[in-house]
Amino acid sequence: MEQSGDFIVFLGRFHPLFLHLPIGFLVLAVLLELASRTEKYAALKPAVGFTLLLGALSALVAAILGLMLAQDGGYSEDLLSIHKWLGIALVVFSFGAWILYVQKEKKQTATLKKAYVGSLALMMVLLGGAGHYGGSLTHGTTYLTQNMPNGLRKLVGLPVQEGPKLITNLNEAEVFSDIIHPILEMRCNSCHNASKKKGELQMHTVEALKKGGENGDVFVPGDPTKSMMIQRVHLPDVDEEHMPPKGKTQLTPEQIALLEWWIGEGAPFDKKVQEVAIAADIDAILQTLVDPNANKTEVEILLADDTSPPDGEKLNDFKSKGVMIKALSNNSNWLQVTIDKNLPVADLLSELSIAFPDQVTWLDLKETPITDATLAPISNFKNLTRLRLEKTAITDEAMSHLQGLNYLEFLNIYGSKVGNEGIEKLADLRNLRRLYAWESGVTAEGAKKLEEKMRQLEVNLGFEVQVLDSLTVNVLPVGLKD
């Protein structure tokens, strides 16, 4: 750039600093105008004209500085043009408002007074508009709404924002759109986007990225070291051409490694991870992008997350009453509970449901004298995942108590009086995967009907269940086995 050009841009860069003066003066003029209409502040009236004039003059200077800054380039043409014309209109109308003020003070006609008030209102509208478009130019059009809470976003019809998207299936993930683009989005696109194209470079779409910047292509497929975007990332922080510029959040070494990997693999825009070569170090980085819960069931996620520790004293109390109660695994607060058929099951169940409503996740009530009515407290065990009710006298009605047990995964009702109508009540248990209903009232037809409604469910009516069950009783003392 020429020397004179540099100087104009140098002055122009004072625009963002200076523009707050006209905003302050013009808003103050309107406030003074309003205040001076009250008795208390009537004495302020003469100050209105003076403040208006200051506002108009400073708006003029801000507009001139703005036109100089526009020489700098790198702004979206459309936004810039709207901002420019709103700014120029603001200068015109603020001078207009001042002239009308002076005239109406002199002549005191009703028409002039009305025109004056109208010009003030229009001036405020223009001020708001110019300010808004100016903000969009420097910060991007989404600056204001970027951090809007999701509740409010829904209310005003903006798309709800999600956190950083983790990859569910790495092999199937798209190299560019799932791995590379999110990095550019996070660290580069604030300056290289639709409304702001620093260095004539946009990076928000594939086409824009392919097009490159003022110095041509920013990446050379297959050769990261020759690619401008990689070269600039590696420049020392203090270098003016270092990207992202000093003071902005920098790329991590892992993000840089991923960009280099992508370019090294030929900068593909439509390839999946499984279609490109992955060195061990890259694989290690990619693994960190995978959602650890991606292939887990809801129940696995629930149990992997520990629950609050059960009260030790209460635990011992139940143990002393003969209830078999212990941790689901070492270092876990989840409880597995077996109530023997000779214990007062109704009372114990009710006490347990008050003492450990969150912790009990496996419960064995087989062969106990539990009834439809005394089973009711079971609904308190919100985190129950396995329940054994085989060889009890429960009927269809008992199934109503299970309807809120959303984590229930295994249920054994074999040898009970539950029938087709009973199991239909389980249709909303989205995690129920196995239902053992051998020798109950459940028929093959009823089982099939439920299985059609619940795709994850398998109803077991056969002999093998009994064999498996009697085997597992010997293997696991708790006797709960899928």
Q: What distances in angstroms separate CA 392 from CA 227, 297, 347, one per listed residue? A: 73, 30, 16
Shortest Å, Cβ 124 to ligand HEC:
32
CB burial of residue 287 (10 Å; 0-12, 13-18, 19+): exposed
Residues 149-188, one symbol each (x = binds ligand HEC by CB under 6 A, - = not), give --------------------------------------xx
The residue within the footprint of ligand HEC, chosen from 6, 78, 172, 214 (CB under 6 A), is 214
Q: Taking each helix axis as running N to C, give the angle between helix 20-35 and helix 110-139, from 0 to 180 degrees, rounded to the nearest 10.
A: 150
Near ligand HEC by CB under 6 A, which window of 117-125, 225-233, 291-299, 464-472?
A: 225-233
The residue within the footprint of ligand HEC, chosen from 68, 69, 80, 201 (CB under 6 A), is 201
Shortest Å, Cβ 182 to ligand HEC:
12
The residue within the footprint of ligand HEC, chosen from 19, 63, 251, 480 (CB under 6 A), is 251
316 binding ligand HEC? (CB under 6 A): no
Select 175 or 233, whichever has its Cβ closest to ligand HEC.
233
Token pair in block for residue 375: 């089973």
Select 202 or 338, whichever has its Cβ closest to ligand HEC.
202
Shortest Å, Cβ 433 to ligand HEC:
46
Select 66 or 224, whichever has its Cβ closest to ligand HEC.
224
The residue within the footprint of ligand HEC, chosen from 69, 137, 191, 413 (CB under 6 A), is 191
Select 170 or 209, whichever has its Cβ closest to ligand HEC.
209
CA dihedral 438, 439, 442, 446 (to 10 degrees): 60
Judged by CB under 6 A, how many residues of this single chain contact ligand HEC? Answer: 23
Q: What distances in angstroms separate CA 83 from CA 32, 79, 90, 93, 129, one per listed residue? A: 27, 6, 10, 15, 8
Shortest Å, Cβ 262 to ligand HEC:
12
Shortest Å, Cβ 33 to ligand HEC:
41
Distance CA 390, CA 394 (A): 9
Near ligand HEC by CB under 6 A, which window of 5-13, 156-164, 229-237, 419-427?
A: 229-237
The residue within the footprint of ligand HEC, chosen from 23, 218, 289, 398 (CB under 6 A), is 218
The residue within the footprint of ligand HEC, chosen from 198, 204, 386, 388 (CB under 6 A), is 198
The residue within the footprint of ligand HEC, chosen from 45, 132, 153, 232 (CB under 6 A), is 232
The residue within the footprint of ligand HEC, chosen from 22, 199, 224, 422 (CB under 6 A), is 199
Shortest Å, Cβ 276 to ligand HEC:
20
Select 113 or 242, whichever has its Cβ closest to ligand HEC.
242
Chain residues in the site for ligand HEC (CB under 6 A): 187-188, 190-192, 198-199, 201, 212-215, 218, 228-229, 232-233, 241, 243-245, 248, 251
